[in-house]
Amino acid sequence: MRFLITAGGTREYIDPVRFISNASSGRMGYALATAALKAGHEVTLISAPTALKPPAGATLVAVESAAEMFAAVKQHFARCHCLIMAAAVADFTPASPSKTKIKKEGGLKPTLRLKPTPDILRWAGRQRRVCTAHHSKIIVGFALEDRDLHANAERKMRDKHLDMIVANTPAAINATASILHIKPIDSDWIKINESHKTASSRRIIRETERLFRQQ
């Protein structure tokens, strides 16, 4: 299979030196890329800024903003068998970023206006096409929820036409191990008790392989 995996937290620039971002470390996306490679698959890794070293064998596409990530996904989507959106993509971006550094002078109180970023998962769900004679693309999303974990994740899965969703809580941010909940489209929730992201990523890849084979 050919996997397209996103990782890391995007940066939405306010001015040339300041940006809005999040606490994502990129560990899950990089662990998924490593697991897919070890399972014998081809991997393109679209990564927002992170301190991690890309896994050997992956094709790395470096991006910063949500718009750049969307452009990269669109560029590589047609060729993939599976898209896993593990990146923490910003929901909003500055509507009019300053071209020069904003200075704190003269009692100025700047106002930051935001606009929504592109919904990459929704686009992918609408764009899926048959990728072999017998298979369609598998689309996997992530949901970070601080309440009603399963209900909110299942709503996202339906709205964005996903084949599988992986749900977790804010406790997973920047952690090396976490509890994950996986919902394939054809079965009930699977709970992975707290384990290293290396182990949980292997389970996610296996479920993705199963969904692809069973079409």
**Dihedral over Cα of 42, 126, 149, 65: its sign:** positive
Long-range contacts of 65-71 (CB under 8 A, 24+ apart): 65/10, 65/11, 65/12, 65/13, 65/90, 65/93, 66/10, 66/12, 66/90, 66/93, 66/117, 66/118, 66/120, 67/93, 67/117, 67/118, 68/10, 69/6, 69/10, 69/120, 70/117, 70/118, 70/120, 70/123
Contact 144, 180 (CB under 8 A): no
Beta bridge mates, 19: 13
- From the list 22, 152, 168, 174, the catalytic residue is 22
**Catalytic: 152?**
no
Q: Which candidate, 1, 8, 48, places its Cα nearest to that of 31?
A: 8
Contact 99, 16 (CB under 8 A): yes
Give catalytic residues, as residue numbers: 22
